Amino acid sequence: MSGTHRRNLYVNQGTNDFINEACEERGVSPGKFVDYLVQEYQRMKQTELTGAHISELISDNVHQTFDDAFKRLQMSENRIDKKTSILVEMMNGIYIKQEDQSCATTDIFASTGYEQAKEKVEKDIDLMRRNKLDWQHVSAGGGD
């Protein structure tokens, strides 16, 4: 489809005025101006396709980021569950060795060991909370 082709077009007065003004400004014929409009339209369509592609890439990236964060959360939860299960098994062993298998709850009597463990767990939770806030701050673009 090389070469030029003759085509008669019927356009409204506003479109005709626009074409004439644009041709005068650019110093081109109406045919050349229509060629320019078609090229710009094709470029715009290509940009839209590229925009859709970029949107898809961003969507995939966001999905991957949340998926990674969720996996880290699951791994953390699994470690906590494992530690809790170990404690339950250890406590069961202690109760089996005791003659009196009743349980003195912490609201009745809190041992020194319990208080030390509680303090350590509270520090760990505080540290995890601070690390999470730091990570969120850095992720939001507020890093130093």
In the predicted model, is pLDDT for residue 82 greater than 80? no
pLDDT in tens, 88-142: 777 777 777 777 767 777 777 778 887 888 888 889 888 888 888 888 888 777 6
Q: Of all residues in the chain, what percent carry a pLDDT higher than 90? A: 17
User: Binning pLDDT at 50, 70 and 90, where does residue 12 land?
Assistant: very high
Helix H or strand E encompassing 121: helix 112-137
Residues 65-93, mean pLDDT to the nearest whole number: 78
Asked whether the beta carbons of 84 and 78 are under 8 A apart, the reply is no
pLDDT band of residue 143 (cuts 50, 70, 90) is: low
Distances (CA, A) of 61 to 7, 58, 64, 75: 48, 5, 5, 21
Report whether pLDDT(21) > 60. Answer: yes
Q: pTM for the full model?
A: 0.37
